[in-house]
Amino acid sequence: MLYILFALGGVLVAIALSMVLLDVEGDQQVQPQSPSIELSKLAADKAETLDSGKDSDTSLQPPNATPAAPLTIDLARVKPDGAAVFAGTAAPNAKIRIFEGDILLGETVANANGEWVIVLEKSLAAGQHLISVAMERSDGTTEMADRSLAVEIYQDTETKPLVALLPETETEVPVLIQSPDDVDTAKPAAAASEAIVADAAKPAAAASEAIV
């Protein structure tokens, strides 16, 4: 069972990725809703939408209005089998939904500090996925996260999936969160531990032979 530990708002959270809930009936994997993801085109389209939305929102806000808590994605981890967990911050007690196209992948309610964690109810099938996150505040207003998640699951069960945050504009580059090239630090640590134990045993063995 793989556990992930991370700090969110000063709170240490442990997630067991293997505890993804799956429906008993029907397809247990979400198939890619887009055949390919063109990062530059998606970034440009998203920037135009955000710019038009910002203009209309600003005109309706009072001069001294307190900015609402934004929806952010702070963590994304995906296993080779498509099991995934996402976390971030939002408005306190807001409803958080993660979806791909018209498919709802998971939902939760942010705590009083605005922290949220979602383990996907269904795993992601091999292919490219474009995932969005939205929140609904207690007053009924809704907001999309200012970035989407691009996820690529490979056909084999060993390669770590690629996960990136798509930028708002073409001048920005995607933020790589997870890559197949990521080094597994557990194996070097285990090898180092074995080497230390072996080196420590040599003097003891030599001393034993000398006594005999």
CATH number of the domain that residue 70 is part of = 2.60.40.10
Residue-wise pLDDT for 24-75, tens only, equals: 344 578 888 755 555 444 444 444 544 544 444 444 445 555 567 899 999 9
Q: CA 128, 130, 135: angle at the middle one, nearest 5?
A: 155
The answer on pLDDT for 10 being more than 50 is: no
Instruction: Give the percent of the chain with pLDDT over 70.
Output: 55
* Residue 44 domain flag: yes
Q: 3-state DSSP call for residue 151?
A: strand
Q: To which H or E segment does residue 49 belong? A: helix 39-60
User: What pLDDT sits at residue 32?
Assistant: 80
| 136 and 208 co-located in one domain | no
* Residue burial 111-124, b: 16+ Cβ < 10 Å; e: rest: beebbbbbbbbbbb
Q: What is the mean pLDDT of residues 101-123?
A: 95
Confidence of residue 174 (pLDDT cuts 50, 70, 90): confident
101: its two tokens:
């196209």
Could you list the residue range(s) of the whole structural domain that residue 189 is in?
184-212
**pLDDT given for residue 171 in this prediction:** 78
Number of domains in the chain: 2
Residues 205 and 137 reside in one and the same domain:
no
Task: Please check whether residues 134 and 170 belong to one and the same domain.
Answer: yes
Cα of first residue to Cα of last residue in the chain, in angstroms, is 47
Encoded amino acid at 37, one letter: I
Query: Is residue 114 located within the same domain as residue 202?
Result: no
- 133 with 202, same domain? no
DSSP designation for 19: G
130: nearest Cα among 48, 41, 20: 41
